[in-house]
Structures are given as structure tokens and as C-alpha cells.
Copies of this chain bind each other. A is one copy, B any other.
Amino acid sequence: MPKLPPLNERAQHLLKVLVERYIHEGQPVGSRALAREAGLNLSPATIRNVMSDLEQLGFITAPHTSAGRMPTVSGYRLFIDSLLTVKPINDQVIRQIRDDLGHQESSGDLLETASRLLSEATHMAGLVSLPKRESSAFNHIEFLPLSEGRLLVILISGQQEIHNKIIQSPRDYTASELQAAANFLNHRFAGKDIRQVRETILHEVSETRERLSQELIDAAAITQLALDPQGERRDSVLIRGEINLMDFSEIGNLEPFRSLFETLHQQEDMIQLMDRCIESPGVQIFIGEESGHKALDHWSLVTSAYSINDQAVGVLGVIGPTRMAYERIIPLVDLTAKLVGAALNHKTLPPL
């Protein structure tokens, strides 16, 4: 049995051409076509030998005996990691994204627009995970007593986003007590991270409990409740253009599309998946099974984190068929993430 050759230059080049052609045509690539396309002046027979090697190594596979070959997940992975040559983005597209993002009022609208733009530019689905309230800046807080000992907390974050929350108050407070607590928080913490605010308060109270007035301890308790991130996950991933994905499902077998659709709208799963991309900088790609979700098996996810003040706060990207035009999509997602970050930074205003 002959030893498998390492992947030489020629084999890599052929793999690259094969993947490119498969992405473009959507059909298994045969030796004849590959010989023509590769520009190496080799006969189909020679190509066949190389293809056979590539198949042994697990980079390509044939759906049946008399069909051409198509890339496996490892094939796509190798292609993306070391063979891909990205294409520069059309200037007009850049301009449109920047303009559309620039004209949005609230940061919520801005992120929604980003999702829509991604979907329109790619004819696939756009995904944007909202920043966790936790990681945005504390700007202003206000307490409003409701009936039955409940309190309405109004929290304004750095991007002028307004969050409402109703909490059960530990005891009855007078309006002026609440006002005092709010004033204290607004002066002391404006501009800080919300998570930081929570942790600082927690820390200080436990340190100096005995020296604090009951009022301050109470205020701290309310604030803890108010800033508690629990139960704060409504519509945290904005999906646009999901219907576009229908076109990539083979006709007559829509089950894959259906379960993809259901998974996409399963907030928890998607948040978890997107969160895995927030740590690493640059563009992240999940190909087929790599995501670990059954429903995403035949789809790829291209994502990038977007940042406010150099801190990654959310993730955006695109989902589409495994055979998507990565050389176009990757720079597009990268750019969009940067423009969204820039637009958000621009929106960040000084505290009230």
C-alpha cells in the first residue's frame, strides 16, 4: 500500500480550484472540468489521481460512483484557513452600509439595520446579537414607585438605550428616599460599566456594612435588584432575511430548512452560539457540523464581534449554505462589524 503523499503545492491548488468551482456551480466537480479550470496543462487522468489522494485524505468526497467530487467540512476548513484569497468589497456597498448605519436614531435601530444590510448584501440571513445590558455603560437611573410595593426602574445606558424593569421592593420607600438613592447612584457611577457598578456596590456594602446607614444599605439592595441581569434576554438576537435561506434548500426536502428556521428563532441556542464568538478577535467561521447543532449541519456561520471603546460587546454575522462565497462574505462581515462599532462609539454620549 503506497504511503499517502503530503499535500503538495499542486494538490492544494487543485483543491482550491475545486472548492471555488463547487461554491460557484453547486455541483460535484469532475476531473475533466477541473483539468480545464486549473490551468496546469494536465490531463484529466492525472487530475483523477490527485483527486483520489484528496479523497483519501478526507478533503473531498463523491456523492456516488459516477459523479464528480465536492468538498467535505475539512476541505472547506483547509480552503478557508490557508487557500482563500479574499476579494475587496465594492466601494458602493461600503458607502451604502456606512450611510444606512449612520442614519439610525437609536442603537437598537442601528443593530436591526445592520442585520438587514447583512442579509440583503449576501442574500442569506443576517444575525446580530445585542450587547448585554451588563456590559454597557451606566448613564442614569431613576426609580418610580408603583402600586403594591413594586418599583419601576428606568435605566439609561451609554448608548441612550432605555431599559425598563419592574422589581418587587423589599420595603416601602418614600419618594424622597428613592430620589436620594437615584441621585447618589447617578453621581457616583455615571460612565462606569454596569457590571462594575453592581460589583462595586456589592463589595463596598459587605466591606463596610456596620458603618453604613440603613438608608444606604437599602439603596444598595434595590440597586442590586435593579441591575440584576437575570431574566433579561428578550429578543437578544436579531435575525433578518431568514426566508432567503429557503432558496438554498433542495426542492422537495424542506425539512432541513424548517428545523434551521426553528433553531434560529430559539433564542437561547443562538445566544449561546453567538457568545462563543465574542472572545476571539476577527472573523470566526463555523462550517457545517462544527457548530455542534444538528439543525445547522449543512449551513455555515460567519461572524465577527463588534466593539464599543475597544471592548467587544456583541456579535454579528451571516448564516448561509456551506457553499457560500466566503471570499466575499468574510470581508463583508468584518467590515460591517467595524462600521457598527464605529457608529455605536459615535452614538455614545456623555452622561446626563
Bound complex: CA of A243 vs CA of B146, how far in Å? 40
Bound complex: CA of A254 vs CA of B160, how far in Å? 42
Bound complex: CA of A180 vs CA of B229, how far in Å? 34
B246–A254 contact, CB under 8 A? yes
Q: A119 CB to closest chain B CB, in angstroms?
A: 12
B352–A146 contact, CB under 8 A? yes
B251–A145 contact, CB under 8 A? no
Apart from A251-B252, A251-B254, 4 more pairs, CB < 8 Å: A147-B350, A152-B154, A154-B164, A246-B258
Contacts of A166 in B (CB 8 A): 160, 162
Q: How many A residues, CB 8 Å from partner?
A: 25
Bound complex: CA of A336 vs CA of B68, how far in Å? 56
Which of chain B's residues has its CB closest to A154's CB?
B154
Q: Which residues of chain A in 135-156 are interfacial with respect to chain B, using CB atoms and an 8 Å cutoff?
A: 140, 142, 144-147, 152, 154, 156
Contacts of A261 in B (CB 8 A): 243
B243–A147 contact, CB under 8 A? no
Bound complex: CA of A156 vs CA of B153, how far in Å? 12
Q: Which residues of chain A in 187-243 are interfacial with respect to chain B, using CB atoms and an 8 Å cutoff?
A: 243
Contacts of A164 in B (CB 8 A): 154, 162, 164
- Residue among B145, B246, B352 making CB contact with A145, cutoff 8 Å: B352
**This protein's copies in its complex:** 2
Q: Show 24 residue pairs from A and B whose CB-CB distance is below 8 angstroms, ordered by the A residue.
A: A140-B144, A142-B142, A142-B144, A142-B154, A144-B154, A145-B352, A146-B156, A146-B352, A147-B349, A147-B350, A147-B352, A152-B154, A152-B156, A152-B162, A154-B154, A154-B164, A162-B164, A162-B166, A164-B164, A243-B261, A246-B254, A246-B258, A251-B251, A252-B252
Q: A140 CB to closest chain B CB, in angstroms?
A: 8
The 8 A CB mask of A153-181 against B (1 = contact, 0 = none) is 01010001010101000000000000000
Tell me whether A269 is interfacial, beta carbon within 8 Å.
Answer: no
Q: A299 CB to closest chain B CB, in angstroms?
A: 16
Tell me whether A262 is interfacial, beta carbon within 8 Å.
Answer: yes
Q: A50 CB to closest chain B CB, in angstroms?
A: 38
Which of the listed residues A140, A243, A261 has the most CB atoms from chain B within 10 Å of its own CB?
A243
Contacts of A246 in B (CB 8 A): 254, 257-258
Bound complex: CA of A166 vs CA of B257, how far in Å? 40
Which of chain B's residues has its CB closest to A254's CB?
B246
Which of chain B's residues has its CB closest to A164's CB?
B162
Contacts of A252 in B (CB 8 A): 251-252
Pairs of residues from A and B, 8 with the lowest C-beta to C-beta distance, nearest first: A162-B164, A243-B261, A251-B252, A147-B352, A154-B154, A146-B352, A243-B258, A147-B349
Contacts of A258 in B (CB 8 A): 243, 246
Q: A52 CB to closest chain B CB, in angstroms?
A: 37
